Structure 1
């Protein structure tokens, strides 16, 4: 129960890494606000958590709209009296060759994966400062913010920006007692790898990780939950690579 009585917000919280993290946060004693564009999935998860004896609330949020993200933060404080953890997790992906990748594709992905993270950081940090909360902001970065890969132009640009937003945010917010840290997954068994499935590249993606398999959302959630705890105090401004070695090696020959 290392997050006992903490109030945690998760964007993109109704499925994938967000869903797994919501369940883990509640297991560790937190109260959770699940933010997502999907109302049905969000409410279903809230009911599942309540059935298990946890405490959770849903708030419909489009993270590409700063006003909605601000309203999410205000709703959290109005509901639970504070905000301790903001997990900027919402993300989408479009897989196309660079020359087929349109400006519309680019802006759609960057709007969620980069601007959504910035909006979440800004809204949460302002409220944490106002309340005098020594909070934690966790950003879902990616191994693809460091390592180039075919077909995901907007995703790569956005995740590279998230890495720097994490560093910059930690520097700017440290005087207010707010810690900013990131998690960097690689290929996780969620809908976001559907493009690789459709392209017949899923086995190739698995081969790029040391266990030769996809990472499960629950495995990333364990890392995120640790980052949210007081025990992770010295992790600040960095991205913890939950990537099964993806960024550490590259070889066409299996060991």
Structure 2
């Protein structure tokens, strides 16, 4: 009985003041530690999620020779509809977090509108969208496009309507991969910052490989876009949604060539936006 009690005492799980475990920990203890660490260090997800209330779910827990590998999903508790983000934590069997890596970020899906307020917003969006279709900004015939990428050769993706071009230099990927363009609408994307309005160029770019070099995204500027921007290059910006927030990209605007372009090293939602004048 005394030997069994000593064994139980050795397996008892305790934490230091810094949150690290004393002695070797079990897989169950590593699972608890992963959730605690994610909860207490939400700033790791970036400014878009650092101050939001999040919820986590365990996706998998595996034991290796020296480490436990825990995969968690995470998403905002309120105001989010879509696919949760996924992260991986590698935990040393002695307790410390050895690695924490974001595998994918939360991806919002099409928004639903409820009640009278939602109906009013939907009506406003519908009117705006109808005007953009009339102006030729939106194209109802756009479809998803996928191209194959070769490690040693440059590649170019052109959207079906020709409004978006993506140029990738040679050695952008380490192995054969695919790049996919998917057109979106205003209701598919998170709300833009207050000073910006979207044009008809809204889309998602995805690849099944990590980008090794920056690529160039070019968007065709319509006459309506130029008028909305007051023919001021600084009022047209390509924005990318990352870490839960829209990020304006350094954008090169050429009204003569009717193009706006930006270099990026990661893929997600993109939108050509017009900056509104301050009141």
* Normalised TM-score (structure 1): 0.25
Which structure has more helix as a fraction of its residues? 1
Larger Rg: 2
Q: TM-score, normalised by structure 2?
A: 0.23
Does 1 or 2 have the higher relative contact order (CA < 8 Å, sep 6+)? 1
